[in-house]
A = this chain, B = another copy of it.
Amino acid sequence: MVTMSTSHPESPKKYHHGNLRDTLITAALPILESHGPDKISLREVARTVNVSPNAPYKHFPTKEDFLAALASKGFQQLEMLLAPAKNLSAGCETYITFAVHNPHLYQLMFSPILATNCESSELEQASTAAYKTLLKHFNTHNPNDPRALHAWALIHGIATLRINGLLSHPVPFEQIAKAPLFMTDQLK
């Protein structure tokens, strides 16, 4: 439970929302998914939460910082899904399924917004946490283990290609992952 400032949540209208930051984020996730990361509007999110267009700016310096917060949320969700996976295959499947079920969120999570601006260390924290959990399934702790990078790049690639409808549906992940031999061979 989040600590609310008042005891009665059903109080009709308070000048101060009490928990705007989180409310904005949870309200924004469906909007993000329906509009896409480049179309989502801070004002619309504010509207659906019944606050003024500028209320969000008391919690996020800029729109991109807000998007960074959404991405952080995404990494947290992904981490929570990834943690209980039983083996490598299940972990990969979970990862890809998350991406396919939340295409716009996933796209945002891996948007250059991450690499570039936004002081948001929350984002870096959440993403590295998720990556750490992923590494566990890859049987390593070294973030730069080439085997881990290979596996990550592979499932990330499959995920994004599938999101963009570039993989015919019936080709499942395992079938793709099991067939790298010629690659390894030909690179001698």
Contact = CB atoms under 8 A, between A and B. Distances in A.
Interface stretch (A10-18, A54-62, A175-183): A175-183
A83 interface: no
A43 interface: no
A98 interface: no
A179 B110 contact: no
Interface residues of A, number: 52
A155 interface: yes
A179 B152 contact: no
If over half of A's interface residues share one DSSP class (helix, strand or loop), that class is named, otherwise mixed; here it is helix
Contacts of A163: 112, 115
A178 B115 contact: no
Contacts of A104: 112
Nearest to A175: B146
A28 interface: no
B157 A152 contact: yes
